[in-house]
Chain A
Amino acid sequence: MGRPMRRSHAEAALPWIVALALALLWEGVVRGLQIPEFLLPAPSAIGASMAKWWWPLLDSSARTLLNTALGFALAVAFGLALGVAIGASPLLYRALYPLLIGFNSVPKVAVVPVLVIWFGSGIVPAVITAFLISFFPIVVNVATGIATVEPELRDVLRALGAGRLDIIRKVGLPRAMPYFFASLKVAITVAFVGSIIAETVAGNQGVGHLMLVASSRFDVPLVFAGLVVTGAMGVAMYALAAMLEARTTGWATRGQRDGLGFGA
């Protein structure tokens, strides 16, 4: 807001310019030093591989996106509910928080084999891993937003006869929304990590599986193509979350649109 249009256009183009410059540098280094393709493929080789294998890539990434979205949706529902619960109740907070931290410290890649024993390989372990890895930031952020309601405000409402639920509904939840959306941006990117870990370790589908198969065939350009597609999906989902954030909690940035979003 209030900035000259030309500058904001330039700022929007900036990430693309940087990406392009990096790709050119990469291309130059690979060609100049004649690095073999199975060590580090040049962007042009990755592009060619993407064009050649466009259908498997599209198919796999669609499956990965689905797995991630399902796991993420579960994480949002569960994280929001648990976050509100432990944010509103100091007792629950004390009872559950250490457990949650312990749980979050377990590397999820170690959990995947267990999930495979329980559910077999396929979509379920990927969805669950995406869920497990992404609910924690949501819980912590929502709980913080709910637990830090100003005492005076709580007194004003309690004096009016407001119950605990009233205070959560009228103040706690709206107040937690910026925290919630901030956590969504983190959660969605780690959800991709979760589903791809599971697909790599135990999957028979998805980008993770595709990259595993490609690397076993020494098709390194295709492995990189998979990485690029994953990165692109992550950025797209992040942008979606940032847009949603700007729409719903513009008040939190006090009307300035210079936050960490995508200039929405």
Chain B
Amino acid sequence: MSRAFVQVDGVALRHPGADGTLALENCTLSVAEGEFVAVVGPSGCGKSTLMRLVTGLWRPTAGGVVVAGQEVTGPLSIAGMAFQNPSLLPWRTVLDNVLLPLEVVRPHRGRFRRERAAYEAEARALLASVGLAGFEARFPWELSGGMQQRASLCRALIHRPGLLLLDEPFGALDVFTREELWLVLQEVWRTRRPTVLLVTHDLREAVLLADRVLVMSARPGRIVAERAVPFGRPRALEGTYTPEFGALVGELRALVGAARESPASAKEMRGAPDAA
């Protein structure tokens, strides 16, 4: 395995405020360069918090985060992010939405005006690779939810980030669209090979896409189990119906179930009336 690209070391995060909840505690994980890692866990376990820590949007209360050999102390421009909500700008065309990061991120922002044609060509190629060729001039609200999510994915990828952070990106889509986008994401990853951290609550999604699946405990979240996914690439949807695939999903399902009933969660339950 190559050296760790993302290293999260004993991280804790308490939300600000006198009775701020402890979202993460003693959370440790590492992701190798070019690796695809999925994080699964019960809802509210701090998965999204973990994402924000890795991008440097939030600072941990304790512990440290190292990305690409550097301690994370502020927002990280080598990261691209996509969320469950595509959050595209309705006044911009699909193409201009995808180009948005280039207007902001260094060093592209200085060159953007001069080299707009080149950037545009790149954005068009990227849109075509996710099946959005011909929709560049449309507005987001003219697109279906799945198409909006494809555009959102392009926006996360346009500045060629070394690290891609996906926070339940397909959570709001119907099953068929979701499965289609799994394959799109797999292709994008195979051709560009970014390091990916995918937060999801869909275990099939995690097993189909990831090299490794990490299981998080209930709040305060930490990594309690880890399973490597042995299947070769590219993985096809049919593979998800094989017994081996089903067995791994079942095993993860049991781990998540156990994580929900972990002592940490019981403690949280007892503490709940105080918080209310």
Contact = CB atoms under 8 A, between A and B. Distances in A.
15 contacts: A152-B85, A155-B55, A156-B83, A156-B87, A156-B156, A158-B75, A159-B55, A159-B57, A159-B76, A159-B77, A159-B79, A162-B105, A170-B104, A251-B141, A255-B142
Contacts of A158: 57, 75
Interface size bracket, A side: 20 to 34
Contacts of B234: none
Contact of A153 (B87, B103, B142): B87
Contact of A160 (B77, B89, B91, B141): B77
A252 B103 CA distance: 23
| Most B C-beta atoms less than 10 A away, residue of A152, A170, A174, A252 | A152
A251 B90 contact: yes
A175 B106 CA distance: 24
A158 B52 CA distance: 11
B101 interface: yes
A249 B139 CA distance: 13
Contacts of A155: 52, 55, 57, 81, 83
Contacts of A159: 55-57, 75-77, 79, 81
Contact of B87 (A152, A174, A252): A152
A212 interface: no
Given A155-B52, A155-B57, A161-B77, 7 more contacts: A152-B85, A159-B56, A159-B77, A170-B104, A251-B90, A255-B141, A255-B142
Contacts of A174: 89, 91
Contacts of B142: 255
Contacts of B90: 251-252, 254
A249 B106 CA distance: 30
Nearest to A251: B91
Interface string A169-188: 01100110100000000000
Nearest to B51: A155
A170 B103 contact: yes
B204 interface: no
A160 B159 contact: yes
Contacts of A157: 100, 104
B155 interface: yes
Interface string A118-159: 000000000000000000000000000000001011011111
A166 interface: yes
Given A156-B155, A159-B57, A166 B81 contact: no
A124 B132 CA distance: 58
Contacts of B83: 152, 155-156
A174 B159 CA distance: 23
Given A159-B76, A251-B139, A150 B57 contact: no
Nearest to B100: A170
A161 B159 CA distance: 12
Contacts of B103: 170
A175 B156 CA distance: 21
Contacts of B155: 156
B81 A156 contact: yes
B85 A150 contact: yes
A33 to B, nearest CB: 55
Nearest to B86: A152
A255 B90 CA distance: 11
A252 B141 CA distance: 10
Given A155-B57, A159-B75, A254 B141 contact: yes
Contacts of B87: 150, 152-153, 156
Contact of A166 (B55, B104, B156, B159): B104
Contacts of B101: 156, 160
A161 B89 contact: no
Nearest to B52: A155
A171 B89 contact: yes
Contacts of A254: 90, 141
A162 B156 CA distance: 14
A186 to B, nearest CB: 22
Interface string A224-239: 0000000000000000
